């Protein structure tokens, strides 16, 4: 049963690939009729060249750091090529003043190091506190043993046993 499903999937994959190649040859940028039209039509050549320039500019924008007003400047340039009636629309005014809204992570990323340092300090404090209390418990039990031995030597074991009877040592 599984083998039949795999064969059907492979056949579907081959058909889709063949269909894609056929459509690309007939309608894609390499189609003969399209190449002939672009060679003969100056308007389409200009548009194609402009699109190439836009693609190139976008690739540069992606690779370079930019200021926050880049979106606003790009919108102004885009609006400037629209028809005059469209440039006067309310939406065009909104686009001229549009600034990007940074993601929440980007907005607070400058505090990341401070938050990490603060968390590290808190963790160190907890570790110190836990270590300090365990050391204090050890110190207390050792101190009681020393004092018990002192009483045993000075006053006798019976008196030391009576004084330290409730500590269980």
Q: pTM, whole model, 2 decimals? A: 0.27
DSSP H or E segment with residue 50? helix 42-63
> What's the whole-number average pLDDT of the chain?
76
Residue 109 phi, psi (nearest 5): -65, -25
> pLDDT tens digits, residue range 119-168?
888 887 887 777 666 676 777 788 888 888 888 888 888 888 887 776 54
pLDDT digits (tens, 9 = 90+) for 26-44: 777 777 887 788 788 888 8
**Residue 169 pLDDT level (bands cut at 50, 70, 90):** very low
- Give which of 88, 52, 60, 92 is closest to 76, Cα–Cα: 92
């Amino acid at each position: 049963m599984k083998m039949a499903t795999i064969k059907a999937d492979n056949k579907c994959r081959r058909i889709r690939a063949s269909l894609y190649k056929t459509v690309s040859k007939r309608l894609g940028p390499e189609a003969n009729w399209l190449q002939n039209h672009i060679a003969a039509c100056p308007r389409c050549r200009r548009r194609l060249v402009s699109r190439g320039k836009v693609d190139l500019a976008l690739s540069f924008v992606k690779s370079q750091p930019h200021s926050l007003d880049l979106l606003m400047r790009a919108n102004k340039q885009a609006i400037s090529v629209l028809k005059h009636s469209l440039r006067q629309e309310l939406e065009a005014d909104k686009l001229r003043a549009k600034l990007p809204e940074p993601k929440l992570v980007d907005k607070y990323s400058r505090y990341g190091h401070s938050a990490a340092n603060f968390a590290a300090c808190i963790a160190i404090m907890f570790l110190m506190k836990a270590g300090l209390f365990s050391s204090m418990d050890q110190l207390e039990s050792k101190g009681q043993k020393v004092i018990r031995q002192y009483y045993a030597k000075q006053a006798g074991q019976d008196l030391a046993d009576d004084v330290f009877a409730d500590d269980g040592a």
